[in-house]
Structure 1
Amino acid sequence: MTDEELQELIESVSKETFGKPFLHIARFNKRLRTTGGRYLLSNHSIEINPLVLDMHGTEELVGVIKHELCHYHLHIEGRGYRHRDADFRILLKHTSSPRFCRPLTEEKQRVQPKHVYECTSCKLLYKRKRRMDVRKYRCGKCAGQIEEIQAVK
């Protein structure tokens, strides 16, 4: 999808959902990392993350567009356009717009601990990625001695 097609899509969603025209610029912005889109207060333009379309499809893209149009129309009308404002939340519900975008980054897998230590007194386990000097540290719960019980190579 090109910026021109995005512009047309946003204009049609604005007319259909809000009954009001979108009169400013819409474009894709590859530099957006974690957010699906943003509304710029300074020039009233809307920027959309192209990953929304690539990862989640057109339906999610339309949801992000509706969300940004809620900001846009409320700001133009001089009403509460911020996420915390009642006007914004009411308009989100009225237009069936999503409050948040689905995640655009893949979740990182947790690294398994390579070293497991145990307190000799209270048996509390300490799981660590890096090796620790058991002569230097004591148990945080009972101040007992710590010993290594498992080292995965």
Structure 2
Amino acid sequence: MTQEELQFIVEEVSLSYFKRPFLHEARFNPRLRTTGGRYLLHTHDIEINPKQYEAFGKEELISIIKHELCHYHLHIQKRGYKHRDKDFKDLLSQVGGARYCKSLSNERISSKRRYTIECTSCSIKYIRKRKLNLSRYACGRCGGKLRMIKMDIDH
């Protein structure tokens, strides 16, 4: 799907479900990882995660567009456009938009590295996602010195 097709779909959904025109830009943003889309407050543009469309198809895309258009139209009207606002929740249920997008489970969001750290005194092992400066920390059990014993990288 191209940017022009996305723009057309957003304008069409806006008119048919909200009875208001969408006058700004809609585009795909491949850098989005943990969200289906986002509404930009300063420019009033909407960005959509293309991976959601590729994984789940047009129905899920339209559901995400409805969600972002709720933010858009409520913000333009100076009403409660945030997720916690009653106006947002009511409008979202009226148009049948998704509260949350489906999870892209094949992509791991967390770090792929694992650090195994061992106490030199009591031999307890700690597994961490983030690297530590071992000279600044001590064992939580006995206060002994820590040393890195293994760094795994999952692929």
Identity %: 56
Alignment of 1:16-95 (within 5 A): 16-95=16-95
Pick the aligned partner of 1:136 from 113, 122, 140.
Answer: 122
Tell me the TM-score normalised to structure 2 length.
0.70
Supply the AA of the counterpart residue of 1:37. G
* Structure 2 unaligned blocks of 5 or more: 109-115, 125-155
Retained in 2: the 8 A contact 1:26–1:47? Answer: yes
SS in 1 for 2:27: strand
* Structure 1 unaligned blocks of 5 or more: 109-129, 139-153
Larger radius of gyration: 1
Structure 2 counterpart of 1:147: none
Supply the AA of the counterpart residue of 2:122. K
Retained in 2: the 8 A contact 1:52–1:60? Answer: yes
Structure 1 counterpart of 2:141: none
SS in 2 for 1:100: coil
The 2-side partners of 1:46 and 1:136 are apart by: 54
The 1-side partners of 2:46 and 2:31 are apart by: 14
Retained in 2: the 8 A contact 1:10–1:26? Answer: yes
